[in-house]
A and B are shown apart, each in its own frame.
Chain A
Amino acid sequence: MLVLFLIFRIFPSLGAAGMSLTNWNIGGEWEFTGLDNYARMLDDPTFWISLKTTLVYVAVYVPMTVLFSLGTALLLNAVVTMRGLWRGMLFLPYVTSFVLAGVIWRWIYEYNGLINGLLAKLDLGPVMFLERSELVLPALALVSAWKGFGYSMLILLAGLKAIPGSYLEAARVDGASAWQRFRSIVLPLLKPALFFVLVIETISGFQVFDTIYVMTGGGPARASYTLIYAIYDKGFRGFEFGYAAAFGMVLFAIILIVSLIQRRLLGRENT
């Protein structure tokens, strides 16, 4: 087991750093080129596009999925009638794959697809969600949010369940409105769970790949060309392994920063 880790987790982690300093290519020949890959990256419009695309995607995806999961968790917490059924239905997409989500939703967004078919009945549309550069990232974010929110919903639901009913009852007796109870009791007590959800969803936002591969291939005109898509594209289409590894290091750095911010904020929370 230890050997396995050494070979397949630790070695590649170090290897990624080392490799990003070389011009490794398909033939396996390489020479040490120092920081050339990083210098090239700064001059490479593709890099800046992929970085910007990823950040925009995360900025759309995270609020969307947190809103979905918080909203459904609050509803599930408030409703008793057939709660198990609703919870199951809302959680269902989580057990499927992003590839499947991509295949289904590509059809849903298509010219002859579900949404445009329904729009046509209302004499509206068609809206080409995946072919318009301003719509493609929100459309992709919606697919990932749909597929993934069930997990965060359960985390938040567990957080809500942990809030003692007597607190809320006391506030109700004191005449606090539903919004006041939410703002001054539920939200502060839910903060750790909410924060956890925020961080893991941010990280999974940065890791988006499968849906993009299936639905857009990075298009239209690189409007959905994210960092991981760049790693795949540079590595397995361009066969520039060294350069692709450098993209991987950037991804790692970003996720590390997100995790460190989380540590810092959580630490402050505890003191």
Chain B
Amino acid sequence: MTITDSRPAVRQANTPAARPRRAGRSWPLVALLAVLSVLTVSPFVAMFIVALSPAGEPTVPGGWPSRLTLDNMLQVLETSGFLEWTANSAIYSVVSVVIILITASMAGYAFAKKRFPGRDAVLWTFLATMMVPFQATLIPTYVLVSDLGGVDTFWGLIVPTLANSQAVFLMRQFILGLPDELFDAAKVDGASELRIYWTIVVPLTKPILATLGVFVFLWHWNDFLWPLVIGQSDATRTLTVGLTILRTEEMQITLLMASAAITVLPCLLVFFLLQRYLVNSIAMTGLK
């Protein structure tokens, strides 16, 4: 590179977009990235091809199906239990999202803006529970729920997962950043706590609530170990657990892949609608 070449480049570098625009079209890198991306999604593509292949016809990897059909999916929906599991997964996820959003934002508000004796001690205890992996307390939690008669019930499935310290902590951090004057002014005007929560906290935390809601939905929809031990009949069994049952039955691969494809549809929907949103929020909040 000659000196006359590099000078404008230095000046351009002050604008962040300038450098990548020049380097970012190098085709070997683009090709490599494209290959890796295609490899990454190829298991899903293969799953959908098999799921949509007519039964008895050759399909990937042995050949290509002559046509695509929804027959397998429809047949799976008639398999005993499948619709029930789907409904259970939906209940488990949606109810948890609603309750966690409400409780986490209320608790987050209390931790961020209210003064009460022992607040910091309680907060640190909350945070400490984040250090204990759920699997380590699986057995005592199960015994506790079982003693309370919660095995194979919806409350037994849902209630223990509502104590989500990550959600509370996230809400607290976000509400901490809201100006105190807002809350003081409302109090001077004689607004009740509930009114402050509803007219100030909720509207101002909407973006973070939406993000949290998406994550809680995915966590619950994809959850496995807890539903596995608690849901012992089709009445409370979720889709992830049901899928493992179908897997162990000697099911045709087209039907198994069709079931798998159906379970992933809500995740894909969330992904396609909210991808940009999810991507940004991971970098910002560190939610996992």
A-side residues, CB < 8 A to B, are: 1-2, 4-5, 7-13, 15-16, 19, 24, 28, 71-72, 75-93, 95-100, 103-108, 112-114, 116-118, 121, 146, 151, 154-155, 157-158, 165-166, 168-170, 172-173, 196, 200, 203, 206-207, 209-210, 213-214, 228, 231-232, 235-236, 241, 244-245, 248-249, 251-252, 255-256, 259
Contacts and interface: CB of A to CB of B under 8 A. Distances in A.
B225 A155 contact: no
B41 interface: yes
A5 B161 CA distance: 10
Interface stretch (B67-75, B205-213, B278-286): B278-286
Contact of A207 (B20, B60, B135, B221): B135
A213 B40 CA distance: 23
A66 B261 CA distance: 28
Contacts of A72: 33, 36
B285 to A, nearest CB: 11
Interface in B230-288: 240, 243-244, 247, 253, 256-257, 260, 263-264, 267-268, 270-271, 275-276, 278-279, 282-283, 286, 288
B120 to A, nearest CB: 14
Most buried by A among B23, B32, B137: B137
B107 interface: yes
A235 B135 CA distance: 12
Given A78-B24, A89-B37, A165 B140 contact: no
A13 B247 contact: no
Contacts of A173: 6, 9-10
Contact of A78 (B29, B160, B168): B29
B200 interface: no
Nearest to A204: B288
Contact of B132 (A13, A71, A80, A82): A13
Contact of A155 (B29, B240, B253, B286): B286
6 contacts: A8-B162, A28-B143, A91-B278, A99-B224, A114-B46, A248-B136
Interface stretch (B76-84, B123-131, B180-188, B189-197): B123-131
Contacts of A4: 103, 159, 162-163
Most buried by A among B32, B50, B240, B276: B240
Given A78-B29, A114-B46, A207 B133 contact: yes
A245 B135 CA distance: 10
Interface of B: 6, 9-10, 13-14, 16, 18-21, 23-26, 29-30, 32-34, 36-38, 40-41, 43-44, 46-47, 50, 60-62, 103-104, 106-107, 122, 125-126, 129, 131-133, 135-144, 147, 159-160, 162-163, 165, 168, 218, 221-225, 228-229, 240, 243-244, 247, 253, 256-257, 260, 263-264, 267-268, 270-271, 275-276, 278-279, 282-283, 286, 288
Contact of B288 (A1, A81, A200, A214): A200
A146 B40 CA distance: 7
A35 B126 CA distance: 28
B162 A12 contact: no
Nearest to A173: B6
Given A24-B143, A236-B229, A255 B131 contact: yes
A15 B125 contact: no
A158 B285 CA distance: 11
Most buried by B among A97, A121, A232: A97
Contacts of A9: 129, 132, 137, 163, 165
B131 A92 contact: no
Contacts of B29: 75, 78-79
Contacts of B136: 13, 16, 231, 248-249, 251-252, 255
B34 A86 contact: yes
A80 B30 CA distance: 8
